[in-house]
Structure 1
Amino acid sequence: MGGHAFHDLHTPRIPPALYLAAREKTTAILRLLFARVVVPTELPEKPDYGDIDYLVCEPLPILTSSAPSSAAFPWAAAVRTLKEVLDTPHGNRGFHNPDVIFLAMRPPVLDPTCCSSAAPAPDFWIQVDVKVCEDPERFEWQRLQLNYASGAKMLSSMGKPLGLTMNPEGLWVRVEDMEGGNWAGSMVWLSKETGDALKVFRLDGRWMAEGGFKGKEEIYTYLTNSWLFNPAHFGARLRDEKFVEHIADRSAPWVSFIKTWIPEHYPKSQDHEKDWYKTTRSAVREKVFTMFPPVASTYYEK
């Protein structure tokens, strides 16, 4: 979620047993502070972990009682309390990611017979990233975006050339005649409900279900079964140097999905199909008009 937030600390990747022990301890603590606490679903088959990611919402009185009444969220109290209960001097609100609290905790003590050969050197820290959702109504939407190492970015990329925008607020459809000159003004609101978004992409609810996929292959197949998937789109993106530089920072399985898996599974479909984009964008527009009847009038009034 936040990469390496503590450059002066040794925060190595950790084996699954240590990750699970640290996650169990931290989850119990967070549930004393927030009404809603989830660990976004991890990609399956991970051999090790770089940090522990959380999404939290609705601070409990232990945090809000000491905060100014005007504060939308008690950031100072949350950072201070988390550092105290995790017994660490390392914790702060993100500068570039102001909705995330970054912490570094000492590893829990494990049974010495457990994963001793795979454990990092003794003097290390475990990074914990706590993303705060201040709007309870958008909690599930943010969870959709964070699940599987922010894999919803693949859906966002698929939908973008077809007139759909997925952002932290929700799902939008864009007015084609306006988007070139006024991108923000071209957007028409659809929904922040996860089920609605998956329905637009014609995908089932496994994306939001715990343990919905047993392996990366299942996730890749799930995404490419969407009627909005076109391998030519990703083929074109790979010819864009800026895009290639950008995806280098993404989770390795998603880099592999774009650069290796799609070309291997769709070797003859890496060129643009202009007619497909035009036809499918029109079909997407009709689908969202059917799903959200009031949208059509707003769309054509733009």
Structure 2
Amino acid sequence: MGGSAFNSLPSGSFPRIPPPVYKDLKARLSPALDRLYEYVAVPIEDPEKTDHGDLDFIVCTPRNARNLPETETDTDTAVNVPHNQVQVALGAIHSIVEDGARTSNFAVLVERGAWSSSGCSEEEERAREAVESGEIFYQVDVHVCADKDDWDRVVYFHSYGDLGMIQGLVTRNVGLVLGVNGLKYPNPPHPTLILNQDFDRISIFFGWSSERRNAGFTSRQQIFEWVIESRFFDPKSFRTSGQGISRVKAQRTMYSDFVVWVNARSESTDMEEVKHRQERVRKEALIEFGRLEEVENYMREFEARKILKTTFNGSVVKGWTELGNNWRGVKVVMDMVRERHGGEEGLLQIYLLEGEEGLKERVMKAFQESGLSS
């Protein structure tokens, strides 16, 4: 809902914006931001959206930053045009600003009679009647991106309404995560791995035609049909809720419409088949994006570290050396082994190559040389 950022203004100050008014507003304000930023875009709208809560601009690379001496270019200057310049360019009266690669909100006053040129005079009057002062505003959000690559991803993911979130639902079904930062490989409790950030490459992997998407959609039906063209969409195992799938706010009407639409085409879900399918696709994704060896090595080392904790510890070393309750002696031996063999990392490599026997051999050698064996 437009205006949600401006709690200090009266309720109703930010009416829903009719599509013709929204189109004219976008055409009027885009050139103003073009003069400040090298890259400016408004994500393509949901083709069936009946009104708009606000106008979202995605921007990056201030035009004046490239003209500044390197010594005068700090992080904020390189990313943000000064907020007061943006406010003046938009003709905003109020603002809530954020530095860095974040979103700032601007309240732009609707001049009386402004909607008449768009054929929406009656809607404007009704909106003004809902506010005691009669003053109404547009909320204009300016999301600043860190660089051109970030800008490309944000514009892609937020185009066509909830399409990015719907694509994310498809990826969740096969055990992956798609978001504004690209395709990720979740592997809890381990760190999440970013597989790829190029949406064209990701689309090829999933079987989504970028050519068809770039040609444009004229209805939600077309968008939904494009989504299920993915080679990983299977009506026998597709879920719209449950473990691993986040709940989405009810006002996401396009997403909600997709859930209803796809559920009517889905069949009963075999959870065992879902699990096996996720395993297959997750491995395929690692292979496709060249990360399989990295993940396998990481998991092998992770498991080895767990085993190492149960193999190289005071109790085990005490048993090998038969030092009884001489815990100080046990510590001396363990410290000698660590120092000689590169600490925990070195011991891990010994364990990976030679197993428990390799560790025991080093321990017993240190024990003999420590003088504690006599």
| 2:199 maps to 1:194 | yes
Q: 1:75 to 1:106 in 2, by over 3 A?
A: farther
Q: 1:92 to 1:277 in 2, by over 3 A?
A: same
- Residues 173-200 of structure 1: CA distance to partner in whole angstroms, max 9, x if unpaired? 34xxxx2322x2xx33322111111112
Aligned partner letter, 2:64: P
Give distance in 1, aligned partners of 2:94 and 2:234. 45
Cα shift at 1:204:
0.6
- Residues 13-45 of structure 1: CA distance to partner in whole angstroms, max 9, x if unpaired? 011111111111110111001101111111002
Where does structure 1 lack aligned partners over 5 or more consecutive residues?
Answer: none
State which structure, 1 or 2, has the greater radius of gyration over its C-alpha atoms: 2
Q: Comparing both chains, which one has the higher relative contact order based on Cα–Cα distances under 8 Å and sequence gaps of 6 or more?
A: 1
Q: 1:206 to 1:247 in 2, by over 3 A?
A: farther
Q: Could you tell me which of 82, 86, 94 is aligned with 1:82?
A: 86
Give the equivalent residue in structure 2 for 1:286: 284
Give the equivalent residue in structure 1 for 2:366: none
Where does structure 2 lack aligned partners over 5 or more consecutive residues?
Answer: 129-133, 299-374
Cα shift at 1:284:
4.6
| 2:161 maps to 1:156 | no
Q: 1:35 to 1:229 in 2, by over 3 A?
A: same
Cα shift at 1:167:
3.6
Aligned partner letter, 2:14: T
Give distance in 2, aligned partners of 1:48 and 1:64. 40
State TM-score, norm by structure 2. 0.66
State TM-score, norm by structure 1. 0.80
| 2:143 maps to 1:131 | yes
Give distance in 1, aligned partners of 2:96 and 2:66. 16
| 2:36 maps to 1:33 | yes
Q: 1:68 to 1:59 in 2, by over 3 A?
A: same
Give distance in 2, aligned partners of 1:78 and 1:230. 49
Cα shift at 1:133:
0.8
Q: CA RMSD of the aligned region, Å?
A: 3.2
Aligned partner letter, 2:170: M
Give the equivalent residue in structure 1 for 2:54: 51
CA contact (8 A) 2:92 2:108 kept: yes
Give the equivalent residue in structure 1 for 2:157: 145
Q: Could you tell me which of 212, 225, 232 is aligned with 1:228?
A: 232
Cα shift at 1:126:
0.6
Give the equivalent residue in structure 2 for 1:214: 218
Give the equivalent residue in structure 1 for 2:325: none
Q: Secondary structure at the match of 2:21?
A: helix
- Number of aligned residues: 284
Q: Could you tell me which of 11, 21, 43 is aligned with 1:18?
A: 21
Cα shift at 1:248:
2.2
Give distance in 2, aligned partners of 1:86 and 1:255. 33
Aligned partner letter, 1:180: P
- Residues 149-185 of structure 1: CA distance to partner in whole angstroms, max 9, x if unpaired? 24212222322352322244322334xxxx2322x2x
Q: Secondary structure at the match of 1:45?
A: coil
CA contact (8 A) 2:2 2:14 kept: no
CA contact (8 A) 1:147 1:207 kept: no
CA contact (8 A) 1:171 1:190 kept: yes
Q: 1:6 to 1:148 in 2, by over 3 A?
A: same
* Percent of aligned pairs sharing the same letter: 20
Cα shift at 1:143:
1.7
Give distance in 2, aligned partners of 1:13 and 1:297. 51
- Residues 210-260 of structure 1: CA distance to partner in whole angstroms, max 9, x if unpaired? x611101111111122122345543443x99x95xx4225521112222x2
| 2:4 maps to 1:4 | yes
Give the equivalent residue in structure 1 for 2:123: 118
